[in-house]
Amino acid sequence: MERDFYWILLDLALILFATKSLGILMKRLGLPQVVGALLAGILLGPSVLNIVGGSNTLKTFAEVGVIMIMFTAGMETNIKQIKSAGFASLVITVLGVVIPMGLGFVTACLFNGGFHVPREQMLSNLYFGTILTATSVSITVATLKELGKLNGKAGTAIITAAILDDIIGLCVLSFIIGMKNPTVNPGRTLINTLLFFIFAIGVGLVVNFIFKHLEKRYPHNRRMPIYSLVICFLFAFCAEVVFGIADITGAFIAGVVLSGMRSHKYIEHRVDIGAYLIFAPIFFASIGINNEFVSFDTNTFFFGLTLIVLGMVGKFIGCGAGALMFKYDLRDAAFVGIGMMPRAEVLLITVQKGISNQFIDADFMPYALGLVIISSLLTPILLKVFNKKELKPLNT
Amino acid sequence: MERDFYWILLDLALILFATKSLGILMKRLGLPQVVGALLAGILLGPSVLNIVGGSNTLKTFAEVGVIMIMFTAGMETNIKQIKSAGFASLVITVLGVVIPMGLGFVTACLFNGGFHVPREQMLSNLYFGTILTATSVSITVATLKELGKLNGKAGTAIITAAILDDIIGLCVLSFIIGMKNPTVNPGRTLINTLLFFIFAIGVGLVVNFIFKHLEKRYPHNRRMPIYSLVICFLFAFCAEVVFGIADITGAFIAGVVLSGMRSHKYIEHRVDIGAYLIFAPIFFASIGINNEFVSFDTNTFFFGLTLIVLGMVGKFIGCGAGALMFKYDLRDAAFVGIGMMPRAEVLLITVQKGISNQFIDADFMPYALGLVIISSLLTPILLKVFNKKELKPLNT
């Protein structure tokens, strides 16, 4: 153990250096930094240099990183904005969830033995649908800001939908993970999921009451982020161990519960610093480290490619159609559809969760990475193309 | 492993909650928060509630916490201030190191078989002297600020001496740890220690050159703290594995190397947030968790008490005498002597390091805690007493 520990210091140094350096490089190429972090993991791991192995310690750091990322994702939820979002945003979100999820599910069925398969295969197919739901719109937001369209109709719809689809996706994911145990029936899982949300709301109300009192006295005090992390870890633990649904759902909901606080930006910022200083880089690198990208399988290849395409097309059609239904003009509808295409952290986290729960084969990870890269590269280009095009006259 | 991980989430929640809450309580009582964190560990560990055990994962988190604390301690070094400190501060520091170290060593010899003992016992006795060297003057600084004396002669001397005694203490500690291997002779250890410092200065110059270029372009950018941590982990690894001296020395020196940067405050702040959000609380709690405070031994009791008293008296006499030699008036000399008495994080880290290297028996930890508590409580009281007293007429 002692000797082990010192070598972990070297692992940490190598991972932090490689993830940050490749992250910066990818950012220059217009890609999310997370792509660089994944490539760093592939580079350091057994696929290429083989100088960092997947130890249990790194695994624990990675898992804590996932919990913290999901927590900050939850904290970004603006409940007020969702309340005021109205019916249009809701329909855009639901269509943007249902269509890619359905397309993913059907594709998975077609590639994996059709629609009459055992329960585990069915759950796996459903899981493939679920991973396509969660967007990561930071690239969209940056591009819309650049184009001066962020505060328009499309921008508001995108931000609301991006938050809501995380929540819906996580509910479905929790349900599927809850169903993993073969002795458990759907009703029981549904009750567990519901019970967790009742627990979360109940505890959340009490915590909010106490925290609002605390933050009035100590608005920008170290204790606020630390106590928030306590809630995060506690919710993640309870979601997984007590209610049998995913720990990431617990962490996300803990973030949602605390997102209404006045000092939520401060808390989120602090936790974000803590997460991205050590834990999150280790998580993204560990994906690359733990996946040996050598095996190639034609079936997986075409399945993966189809999911990459449908992941983007599904969001475009679902969200775009939803926008058109509510009389968005063509340009705004295209903005919404394209803007919802990018995937990043949450996709990778849900895929990794699927692999560790044996719903998804580890071979699929490169295609998940492909969806992140392609959707991140295409989105800003397409947004700019549609911004220039003369579309308005068609509709107005 | 999977199941283990989820329970670590509960451990983290309990540790963060208890360390922070008791830390706040201790602060109200005028004690350092670290005392609360230790008490939290005792409370959660096998001594009282027995709900958190010392797992390997927690141990790794704790060790990373130590590395990060030592790194930020090193970053607080102001090389310019040390250069301009002058001969007086140097003498005050050296006397403030030599006297408590000598008193600790002699006491350890007297309690542990006299002066003619085997090499290991001699190293252990020397180690007891070394743990008394490093001060932690945050309580002094706060009190002097309150009294409006921080920028006076005494304040400046204290801040310089507090930095220098860390460095001297760590050099001695590195030497003792280097000597641990019975086949190694003192000359070899001395060479290793020197080689490490040559390595640190050499790499440090290159790193400083690159980093100063980087910080000019990206002054307040996330990459700076991350790359700094890379250097920290790398130095800690090399110090331990390549040069056979302590990892904490490597981390501290990495901090010193980077302390001259313009953005050092920003980097230190970021690393500090990362450390105190999760890692450092786990370290302090783990001290309490891993020590069952049940055994009582009369010899250890009197030895511990003597070291507590001599730890304070030694600093008071050493630094006070040094100050008097350079014509500080009585009040200022008393300020310097009292101001250098408090111990906190670095004492606990060096004691823990001594326990894991078998120089120090785990039974000693409560007395280390005692020295932290008593010196922290006494210092502000004594400073205020000496501030009120009419001492000046005696000397001017």
pLDDT digits (tens, 9 = 90+) for A132-172: 998 888 888 888 888 888 777 888 888 888 888 888 888 88
Query: What is residue A161's predicted lDDT score, i.e. its pLDDT?
Result: 87
- Report the distance separating Cα A30 and Cα B284, nearest Å: 43
Chain B nearest CA to A331, separation (Å): 36
Structure tokens at B318: 């050493």
- Report the distance separating Cα A315 and Cα A370, nearest Å: 16
Q: Which of B13, B222, B230 is opposite residue A230, by nearest beta carbon? A: B13
Query: What is residue B230's predicted lDDT score, i.e. its pLDDT?
Result: 96
Interface test with B, best of A271, A278, A357 (most B CBs within 10 A): A278
Q: Which residues in chain B are contacts of A59 at CB distance < 8 A?
A: 1, 5
- Burial A315-332, CB ≥16 within 10 A → b, else e: bbbbbbbbbbebebbbbb
Q: pLDDT tens digit string along A268-287?
A: 889 999 899 999 999 989 88
Q: pLDDT tens digit string along A218-233?
A: 766 778 899 999 999 9
- The CATH number linked to A112 is 1.20.1530.20
Query: Alpha carbon B155 to chain centroid distance?
Result: 19
Beta carbons of B62 and B275 less than 8 angstroms apart: no
Q: pLDDT tens digit string along B163-214?
A: 888 888 888 888 888 888 777 778 888 888 889 989 999 999 999 888 888 8
Closest CA to B289 of B50, B19, B7: B50
Provide the pLDDT confidence category of residue A395 given band limits of 50, 70 and 90: very low
Chain B nearest CA to A26, separation (Å): 14
Contact B9 A277 (CB under 8 A): no
Provide the pLDDT confidence category of residue B245 given band limits of 50, 70 and 90: confident
Beta carbons of A184 and A178 less than 8 angstroms apart: yes
Half-sphere exposure at residue A87, Cβ-oriented, CA atoms within 13 angstroms: 3
Does A236 contact B at CB distance below 8 Å? Answer: yes
- Report the distance separating Cα A330 and Cα A344, nearest Å: 27
Query: What is residue B294's predicted lDDT score, i.e. its pLDDT?
Result: 63
Contact A227 B17 (CB under 8 A): yes
Q: Which of A8, A12, A56 is opposite residue B1, by nearest beta carbon? A: A56
Closest CA to A219 of A275, A273, A270: A270
Query: What is residue B56's predicted lDDT score, i.e. its pLDDT?
Result: 81
- Report the distance separating Cα A131 and Cα A120, nearest Å: 17
Query: What is residue A390's predicted lDDT score, i.e. its pLDDT?
Result: 60
Provide the pLDDT confidence category of residue A391 given band limits of 50, 70 and 90: low
DSSP helix/strand/coil, B246: coil
Does A190 contact B at CB distance below 8 Å? Answer: no
- Report the distance separating Cα A377 and Cα A389, nearest Å: 19
Q: Which residues in chain A are contacts of B56 at CB distance < 8 A?
A: 1, 56-57
- Report the distance separating Cα A278 and Cα B279, nearest Å: 11
Query: What is residue B83's predicted lDDT score, i.e. its pLDDT?
Result: 73
Provide the pLDDT confidence category of residue A126 given band limits of 50, 70 and 90: very high
Provide the pLDDT confidence category of residue B219 given band limits of 50, 70 and 90: low
Question: In terms of residue numbers, what domain contains A211?
Answer: 2-49+77-388
- Report the distance separating Cα A370 and Cα A342, nearest Å: 11
Q: Which residues in chain A are contacts of B8 at CB distance < 8 A?
A: 60, 64
Residues with Cβ < 8 Å from B164, sequence gap 6 or more? B82, B85, B89, B90, B93
Structure tokens at B187: 């000359």
Structure tokens at A66: 């996932």
Label each residue of A206-251 as H, E or C.
Answer: HHHHHHHHHHHHCCCCCHHHHHHHHHHHHHHHHHHHHCCCCHHHHH
Structure tokens at B219: 């002054």
- Report the distance separating Cα A156 and Cα A154, nearest Å: 6
Query: What is residue A344's predicted lDDT score, i.e. its pLDDT?
Result: 86
Provide the pLDDT confidence category of residue B17 given band limits of 50, 70 and 90: very high
Q: Which residues in chain A are contacts of B64 at CB distance < 8 A?
A: 12, 278
Q: pLDDT tens digit string along B62-118?
A: 999 989 988 998 888 777 777 776 788 889 999 999 999 999 999 999 998 888 888
Query: Alpha carbon A231 to chain centroid distance?
Result: 20
Label each residue of A81-129 as H, E or C.
Answer: HHHCCHHHHHHHHHHHHHHHHHHHHHHHHHHCCCCCCCHHHHHHHHHHH
A93 falls within a domain: yes
Contact A57 B59 (CB under 8 A): no
Interface test with A, best of B60, B249, B283, B357 (most A CBs within 10 A): B60
Q: Which of A16, A24, A236 is opposite residue B229, by nearest beta carbon? A: A16
B57 falls within a domain: no
Q: Which of A12, A67, A273 is opposite residue B274, by nearest beta carbon? A: A273
- How many domains in chain B? 1
Query: What is residue A4's predicted lDDT score, i.e. its pLDDT?
Result: 67
**Closest chain B residue to A62, measured at CA:** B5
Closest CA to A251 of A240, A267, A263: A240
The answer to whether residue A129 scores a pLDDT higher than 90 is yes
- Report the distance separating Cα A352 and Cα A22, nearest Å: 21
The answer to whether residue B124 scores a pLDDT higher than 70 is yes
Q: Which residues in chain B are contacts of A227 at CB distance < 8 A?
A: 16-17, 20
Query: What is residue A220's predicted lDDT score, i.e. its pLDDT?
Result: 67
- Report the distance separating Cα B2 and Cα B5, nearest Å: 5
Query: What is residue A294's predicted lDDT score, i.e. its pLDDT?
Result: 64
Interface test with B, best of A233, A234, A235, A282 (most B CBs within 10 A): A233
Residues with Cβ < 8 Å from A40, sequence gap 6 or more? A15, A18, A19, A21, A22, A23, A284, A285, A288
Average pLDDT over residues A161-185: 85
Contact B237 A57 (CB under 8 A): no
Q: What angle do CA A238, A243, A245 make, to 5 degrees?
A: 95
Among A41-55, A97-111, B321-335, where is mean pLDDT lowest?
A41-55
Average pLDDT over residues B328-352: 91
**Closest chain B residue to A244, measured at CA:** B6
Query: What is residue A53's predicted lDDT score, i.e. its pLDDT?
Result: 77
- Report the distance separating Cα B153 and Cα A30, nearest Å: 55
Closest CA to B119 of B36, B183, B51, B194: B183
DSSP helix/strand/coil, B372: helix
Q: How much is the mean pLDDT over chain A? A: 87
A378 falls within a domain: yes
Provide the pLDDT confidence category of residue A265 given band limits of 50, 70 and 90: confident
The DSSP-derived string for B93-123 is HHHHHHHHHHHHHHHHHHHTT-SS--HHHHH
- Report the distance separating Cα B367 and Cα B365, nearest Å: 5
- On whether the pTM is more than 0.90, the answer is no
Q: Number of A:B CB contacts under 8 A? A: 130
Provide the pLDDT confidence category of residue B2 given band limits of 50, 70 and 90: very low
Does A13 contact B at CB distance below 8 Å? Answer: yes
Query: Alpha carbon A94 to chain centroid distance?
Result: 17
Q: pLDDT tens digit string along B269-319?
A: 899 998 999 999 999 898 888 776 667 788 889 999 999 999 999 999 999
**Closest chain A residue to B21, measured at CA:** A223
Query: What is residue A219's predicted lDDT score, i.e. its pLDDT?
Result: 66
Q: Which of B237, B277, B281 is opposite residue A270, by nearest beta carbon? A: B277
Structure tokens at A272: 């974000």
Chain B nearest CA to A17, separation (Å): 6
Q: Which residues in chain A are contacts of B229 at CB distance < 8 A?
A: 12-13, 16, 277-278
Query: What is residue A49's predicted lDDT score, i.e. its pLDDT?
Result: 82
Q: Which of residues 17-76 of A touch B (CB under 8 A)?
A: 17, 20, 24, 56-57, 59-60, 63-64, 67
Structure tokens at B298: 């009369």
B163 or B25, which is more confident:
B25
Q: Which residues in chain B are contacts of A237 at CB distance < 8 A?
A: 6-7, 9-10, 13
Biggest CA pair distance of chain A = 71
Q: Which residues in chain A are contacts of B277 at CB distance < 8 A?
A: 225-226, 229, 270-271, 273-274
Q: Which residues in chain B are contacts of A220 at CB distance < 8 A?
A: none
**Closest chain A residue to B267, measured at CA:** A277
Query: What is residue B396's predicted lDDT score, i.e. its pLDDT?
Result: 42
Does A183 contact B at CB distance below 8 Å? Answer: no
Of A85-89, A293-297, A377-381, the range with the highest mean pLDDT is: A377-381
Does A237 contact B at CB distance below 8 Å? Answer: yes
**Closest chain A residue to B231, measured at CA:** A13
Q: Which of B24, B63, B277 is opposite residue A274, by nearest beta carbon? A: B277
